[in-house]
Amino acid sequence: MSRVLVLGLSGQVGEALRPALCARFGEIDAVSRDARAPEPGVRWLQGSLAAMPVEAAAGHDLILSVGPLDCFAEWFDVAAPLPTRVVALGSTGRHDKLQSPDPAERELAARLVTAESRLFESGVRQGAAVTVLRPTLLYGAGRDHSLAPLVRIARRWHCLPLPANARGLRQPVHVQDVAAAILACLDAPVTAGRAYDLPGGETIPFDAMVRRTIARHAPATWMPRVPAGVVAALAGLWRRIGRAGPGAGSLARLSRDQLADPAAAQADFGYSPGMFRP
């Protein structure tokens, strides 16, 4: 039976993945920055990618990375462990943010592109079969950076202004569908050396996605339509008082479609995500 090392198990995709991994492999090893008590099916190793020695990966023939891809690619390249199989999460942000007006978002997209290339090159050099999966907008655990913050605002203020231009199409994907895709790749040798976009099963305008989410989690919220410039000004004020808010890049994308093609994932490992149900 394979020995499994998981990086990012305490994250939103990791939590969705954990039960199926433990059921399939019996016990898995996972890395955490903080000391954690033993849990059934999980052996926690304290450390981080920045400081984790290669010995921590010794003896594992399967490594799953469901955390930041750039950090993992750098560690994998330098530490050069010898697993036979690697599945890592990237992001469709490598496509969507390349032309962002926000320099930080453009830099993130460039890091994702570089990380993918570095990871595949390291895999070839080390003889590891590497697959990269790129989810679109994640939801389902209440820990995402897109919908969950809007729910928190709606619950607190009972008002969530929607930009009038926020009609760009989205394909939100549930964390459980991403977890299922990771497991499916393990049974599909054809996925080695390839990267796949993982959109959700429904294409929906941004404003409709938000309205459906808020109706489910903060139903008393008033969501008026306001000019995009007003929302940008409110977001700027929100950030100036020390609160996290949307930047210029995310606001600019509200009117743009961000679509990914699931065809390759469907053909190679039977990817079949569900409809959007926040």
User: pLDDT tens, 200-219?
Assistant: 999 999 999 999 999 999 99
SS3 assignment, position 39? strand
E strand or H helix at 70, and its extent?
helix 69-79
Residue 97 and residue 50 share a domain: yes
Whole-number pLDDT of residue 85: 94
Q: 243 with 137, same domain?
A: no
Within a domain: 56? yes
- Where do we find the tokens 């992001």? 91
SS3 35: coil
**pLDDT of res. 242:** 63
Higher pLDDT, 235 or 220: 220
Residue 5 has pLDDT above 60, yes or no: yes
Residue 163 belongs to a domain: yes
**CA gap 1, 255 in Å, rounded:** 49
Domain assignment present for residue 185? The answer is: yes
224 pLDDT tier (thresholds 50, 70, 90):
very high
- Is 276 a domain residue? no
Give pLDDT tens digits for 231-261.
777 767 766 766 666 666 788 899 999 999 9
Share of the chain above pLDDT 70, in %: 92
For range 2-13, the mean pLDDT: 92
**Alpha carbon 5 to chain centroid distance?**
18
Q: What's the 3-state SS for 160-182? A: CCEECCCCCEECCEEHHHHHHHH
**Does residue 163 sit in the same domain as residue 101?**
no
Q: What is the pLDDT of residues 184-201, one digit of tens each?
A: 999 999 999 999 999 999
Q: What is the pLDDT of residues 109-168, one digit of tens each?
A: 999 999 999 999 999 999 999 999 999 999 999 999 999 999 999 999 999 999 999 999
Task: Report if residue 274 sits inside a domain.
Answer: no
Q: For 22-32, what is the mean pLDDT?
A: 91
Domain co-membership, 68 together with 13: yes
The tokens of 143 are what?
């820990």
Mark whether 120 and 223 lie in a shared domain: no
- Whole-prediction pTM value? 0.93
Residues making up the chain, counted from first to last: 278
Dihedral of CA atoms 145, 148, 154, 160 in degrees, nearest 10, equals: 40
Residue 53 and residue 73: Cα distance in Å, rounded? Answer: 15
CATH number of the domain bearing residue 90: 3.40.50.720
Confidence class of residue 19 from pLDDT cuts 50, 70 and 90? very high
pLDDT at residue 244 in the model: 61
Question: Is 128 inside a domain boundary?
Answer: yes
Residue recorded with tokens 């999460």: 89
**What is the model's pLDDT at position 80?**
77
With 0-12 / 13-18 / 19 or more C-beta atoms within 10 angstroms meaning exposed / middle / buried, residue 79 is middle
Among 8-12, 43-47, 271-275, the minimum mean pLDDT is found in 43-47
With respect to residue 275, please indicate whether it lies within any of the assigned structural domains.
no
Percent of all residues in the chain with a pLDDT value above 90, rounded to a whole number: 72
In a domain, 210, yes or no: yes
Give which of 138, 140, 135 is closest to 278, Cα–Cα: 140
pLDDT at 54: 60
198 vs 176: CA distance, rounded Å = 12
pLDDT value at residue 56 = 67
Q: Are residues 97 and 216 in the same domain?
A: no
The reply to whether 223 and 123 lie within a common domain is no
**Domain range holding 158?**
148-167+204-253
**pLDDT-wise least confident of 50-64, 173-187, 231-245:** 231-245
How far from 113 is each of 43, 59, 76, 151, CA to CA, in Å? Answer: 32, 29, 16, 31
214 and 246 co-located in one domain: yes
The answer to which of 28-37, 53-62, 112-121, 190-199 has the lowest mean pLDDT is 53-62
C-alpha atoms less than 13 angstroms from C-alpha of 58 in its C-beta half-sphere:
5
| pLDDT for residue 247 | 67
Instruction: Check whether residue 232 and residue 245 sit in a common domain.
Output: yes
Whether residue 182 sits in one domain with residue 94 = yes
Q: Judge if 117 and 16 occupy the same domain.
A: yes
Say if residue 86's pLDDT is above 90.
Answer: yes
Structural domain count, the chain: 2
If asked whether residues 132 and 226 sit together in one domain, one would say no
